[in-house]
Amino acid sequence: DRAGSPGCALQFPGNTSHVTIPFSSDFDQGPADAFSISLWYQGGSSNGTDQEWLFAKRQVGASWVDTDYGLVLYDLNQVLGSLGPNGEVWSNVLPPVPDPQWHHVVYIYDNGTQQLWLDNMLVNSSTQPVFVGQSSEGIVIGEQFLGAIDDVRYYDRAVSNTDVALLFQETANCATSTGMAERDALAIIVAPNPATDRLTVHLPEARGSLELLDATGRSVQRVDVTNTTTLLQVAHLPDGLYLLSYSNGPATAVQRITVK
């Protein structure tokens, strides 16, 4: 990951390989709604005209205009926030190729206003009437992207400038301490977070177990992993903070989860 820890970020080969999070109404957003996407990435291909999707609500292989929304590297690896056919905010920052540096990007949409932040700097914004697609597609991470992605977060609100700064300053940590041994931590992606009815967990392997712990450390749910994409129902849980623990042999990864 960005701190140099092995096995703590997802690596993508620059082809159709990607992470998929199945469709959930949690990701459906209308023109008057708000959402934010935050992630760290490193890389980008030497092809100056390809589309490398870091995070998008779209059908794999679909055209640009058929994408509901997302973050993409395009035109010499400039990062771009995209809203379907008529809403774009460009970073206008041309990185070197290859680019060895990790970058933090935040894309914010709030009732017609878009903001694009790169490495804690507001690099572009736009306020105009836009169309936000509400297709039945899920989330795609890393499609056609050559590089690594880490710390993916999705919020069903517009994060503040202070939130952006805190996300940028947050120390890279492959796991969150719970008093248990955390050896050889694993890369996992959880969305949406916060969650209302269910969590989608993408795992590096189709084995091991997932356990959800409440704030007191009490186990409230446990499942054996049989697929690299696992759904956890959380609608029955009280609102609050939880810890999601993924164990696979001697390795453990833990992430904070909010249920609301």
Task: Tell me if 174 is assigned to some domain.
Answer: no
CATH number at residue 246: 2.60.40.3080
Q: Identify the residue with better confidence: 20 or 249.
A: 20
Instruction: Point out the domain boundary residue: 102, 137, 169.
Output: 169
- Quick one: 158 and 228 in the same domain? no
C-alpha 176/C-alpha 235 separation (Å) is 24
pTM of the full predicted structure?
A: 0.68
Q: Kindly report the backbone phi and psi dihedral angles of residue 108, in degrees, each rounded to the nearest multiple of 5, phi listed first.
A: -120, 130
C-alpha 82/C-alpha 2 separation (Å) is 25
Tell me the longest C-alpha to C-alpha distance in the chain. Answer: 51
In this prediction, residues 178-199 reach a mean pLDDT of 64
CATH number at residue 33: 2.60.120.200
- Quick one: 214 and 151 in the same domain? no
Task: Tell me if 19 is assigned to some domain.
Answer: yes
Task: Tell me if 180 is assigned to some domain.
Answer: no
Task: Tell me if 193 is assigned to some domain.
Answer: yes
b/e map 33-54, b = 16+ CB within 10 Å: ebbbbbbbbbbbbeeeebbbbb
CA-nearest of 166, 186, 203 to 21 is 203
pLDDT of residue 10: 87
Confidence of residue 260 (pLDDT cuts 50, 70, 90): confident
Burial class (CB in 10 A: 0-12, 13-18, 19+), 129: exposed
Task: Tell me if 254 is assigned to some domain.
Answer: yes
C-alpha 125/C-alpha 120 separation (Å) is 14
Continuous segment of H or E residues that includes residue 29: none
On the question of pLDDT at 71 being above 90, the answer is: yes
- Quick one: 211 and 147 in the same domain? no
pLDDT of residue 179: 34
Task: Tell me if 183 is assigned to some domain.
Answer: no
- Quick one: 141 and 202 in the same domain? no
Alpha helices (H) along the chain = 161-169
Task: Tell me if 80 is assigned to some domain.
Answer: yes
In this prediction, residues 41-52 reach a mean pLDDT of 89
Q: pLDDT tens across 129-157, in order?
A: 676 767 778 889 999 999 999 988 888 88
pLDDT of residue 30: 83
Within 10 angstroms of residue 66's Cβ, the number of other Cβ atoms is 14
CB 153 within 8 A of CB 193: yes
Task: Tell me if 72 is assigned to some domain.
Answer: yes
On the question of pLDDT at 185 being above 50, the answer is: no
- Quick one: 96 and 151 in the same domain? yes
Q: Identify the residue with better confidence: 179 or 88.
A: 88
- Quick one: 26 and 134 in the same domain? yes
For tokens 């206003």, the residue is 113
State the residue range of the domain holding 51.
10-169
Amino acid identity of residue 84, one-letter, is G
CB 27 within 8 A of CB 141: no
Q: Identify the residue with better confidence: 209 or 183.
A: 209
Amino acid identity of residue 227, one-letter, is N
How many domains in the chain?
A: 2
* Percent of the chain surpassing pLDDT 90: 30
CA-nearest of 188, 240, 199 to 218 is 240
Mean of the per-residue pLDDT values of the chain = 83
Q: Which of 57-71, 120-134, 138-152 has the lowest mean pLDDT?
A: 57-71
DSSP sequence for 49-92: T--EEEEEES-TT--GGG--EEEEEETTTEEEEEETTTEEEE--
Please list, in sequence order, all residues whose beta carbon lies within 8 angstroms of the beta carbon of residue 5, skipping any fewer than 6 positions away.
172, 174, 185
- Quick one: 34 and 82 in the same domain? yes
The encoded tokens of residue 129 equal: 């009437």
- Quick one: 221 and 132 in the same domain? no
In this prediction, residues 34-57 reach a mean pLDDT of 90
- Quick one: 226 and 135 in the same domain? no
